[in-house]
Structure 1
Amino acid sequence: MFEGLKQWAEEVVAEYGYAGIFIISFTESIIQPVPPDPFITGGTVFGLSPVKAALVAAIASVLGGIVGYFLGKFLGEPVFKKFIGEKYYDRGEILFRKYGIWAVIIAAITPIPFKAICWLAGIFEMPFWGFVLAAFVGRLPRFLFMAFFGQWIGNL
């Protein structure tokens, strides 16, 4: 299943460029498991602008994160546990209790499943604008790094 999603994502980026990166980044922040990083890097290897690719990915990821936030807020803990898992709920609760807004920034920068943190931000009623700011502050540097890494590879 994962291999099929990966192939789909590659085709979307190859055919649709920035729009493909937007789709992958948006949906990854809600539910789908394929991270946008390799597609941002691949897109810039083949000539997409690193700054534009990173901005598109960051904006899409934050918008998808907002959807996840409201899914968490309105559907709550039982739906989260059903779709994402109790393990991530328990880990997320510990992360939120210990780090608060930093939990979003940490998840946005690291391989921690960002979608899970977005849902949990809504479940734990994190202030909305604090969530949005933290998501953007974390996602943009990560995606800029991946985009410029891709450009560097493309220049080799």
Structure 2
Amino acid sequence: MESLKITLEGFVESYGYLGIFLIAFTESIIQPVPPDPFISGATAMGLNPLLSAIVATFGSVSGGVVAYFLGKFLGEPVAKRLLGEERFLKAEAFYNRYGTFAVIIAGLTPVPYKVFCWLSGILEFELWRFVIASVIGRFPRFLLFALFGEAVGNFL
């Protein structure tokens, strides 16, 4: 427990809000580590929970927009090669039916948000709807983790 505390303190002292932004940004594109533990750890070590959630949301949605355009640029052939024809068609049908709601759910839950960022671009989902749905999904999740971290920090 003590080594985790030292690691988190080092992260907050070295990177602070910029670190939260970068973790959230890159997670929305490709990297597998979710920003949630970093947000909680940072607020446990004294960063402002609301500001941390805002920074994480901005980073995550910004990274999501990059993934959106990568998906749009690389397009359907790459998705079919990665997912296979059958999975791609299922994803497309799901998206056509639940587009905005799917992005919100992916933003709120442990479902890989980055997949929906890429699919939004590949399937040419409206960018403004993608951004709004992303903010609606990501901000409450990050705020919850930030407030949790602050509560834990009060006990450390």
TM-score between the two structures when normalised by the length of structure 2: 0.85
SS of the equivalent of 1:134 reads: helix
Change (3 A) 1:119 1:46: same
Change (3 A) 1:72 1:136: same
Q: Is the 8 A contact 1:108 1:135 kept in 2?
A: yes
Equivalent residue runs for 1:1-156 within 5 Å: 13=12, 15-80=14-79, 85-86=82-83, 89=88, 92-156=91-155
Change (3 A) 1:89 1:53: farther
Alpha-carbon RMSD across the aligned residues, in angstroms, is 2.1
**Long gaps (5+) in structure 1:** 1-8
SS of the equivalent of 1:47 reads: coil
Q: Is the 8 A contact 1:41 1:147 kept in 2?
A: yes
Task: Give, in angstroms, the shift of residue 99 of structure 1.
Answer: 1.0
- Whole-Å separation in 2 of the counterparts to 1:155 and 1:138: 27
> How far does the alpha carbon of each residue in 1:51-96 deviate from its partner, in whole angstroms, 9 at most, with x for none?
01000000000000000000111111333456xx417746643431
Task: Give, in angstroms, the shift of residue 100 of structure 1.
Answer: 1.6
**Long gaps (5+) in structure 2:** 1-6
Count of residue correspondences? 146
Larger radius of gyration: 2
- Percent identical among aligned pairs is 55
- Whole-Å separation in 1 of the counterparts to 2:80 and 2:13: 34
Change (3 A) 1:89 1:108: farther
TM-score between the two structures when normalised by the length of structure 1: 0.85
Runs of 4+ more than 6 Å apart? none
Q: Is the 8 A contact 1:31 1:115 kept in 2?
A: yes
- Whole-Å separation in 1 of the counterparts to 2:88 and 2:11: 31
- Whole-Å separation in 1 of the counterparts to 2:32 and 2:77: 20
SS of the equivalent of 2:65 reads: helix
Change (3 A) 1:73 1:43: same
SS of the equivalent of 2:32 reads: coil
Task: Give, in angstroms, the shift of residue 97 of structure 1.
Answer: 2.9
* Other-structure match for 1:6: none
Q: Is the 8 A contact 2:24 2:34 kept in 1?
A: yes
